[in-house]
């Protein structure tokens, strides 16, 4: 049986590069409204539009990014023969790796 681990790693690392944008959008939204309301972060002082415009902007971008990731990984997972409980968390971690690298480097 052929292994598709390099294909899975390549797909997820490549998808992780543009995923930096929706992940930043999610962090910005969370840091300015729910986490700031709990007192865990400080809200951006110039942000006075409220969360609705961010939900309208972030929602489609995040959903499109998640759908693209899911659709790209589905065929690779089926061909790999890896169990779903092992494949999906590793794939998600590989897709988050570029964002983690940028966070560490900043």
Q: Give domain status of residue 1, yes or no.
A: no
Q: How many structural domains compose the chain?
A: 1
Q: What is the pLDDT along the chain (106 residues), one digit of tens a residue?
A: 456 688 889 999 999 999 999 999 999 999 999 999 999 999 998 988 888 998 898 999 999 999 999 999 999 988 888 888 989 999 999 999 999 999 999 8
Q: What residues make up the domain containing 90?
A: 7-43+51-105
CB of 20 closer than 8 Å to CB of 102: yes
**pLDDT value at position 2?**
53
**pLDDT value at position 42?**
92
Q: Give domain status of residue 65, yes or no.
A: yes
**In the chain, how many H helices and how many E strands?**
5, 0
Q: Give domain status of residue 2, yes or no.
A: no
Global pTM reads 0.84
């Amino acid at each position: 049986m052929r292994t598709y681990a390099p294909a899975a790693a390549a797909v997820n690392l490549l998808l992780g590069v543009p995923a930096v944008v929706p992940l930043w959008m999610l962090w910005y939204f969370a840091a300015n409204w729910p986490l700031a309301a709990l007192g865990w972060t400080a809200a951006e002082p110039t942000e006075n539009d409220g969360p609705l415009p961010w939900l309208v902007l972030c929602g489609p971008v995040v959903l499109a990014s998640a759908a693209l990731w899911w659709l790209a990984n589905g065929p690779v997972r089926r061909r790999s023969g890896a169990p779903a409980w092992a494949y999906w968390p590793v794939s998600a971690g590989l897709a988050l790796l570029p964002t983690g690298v940028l966070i560490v480097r900043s």
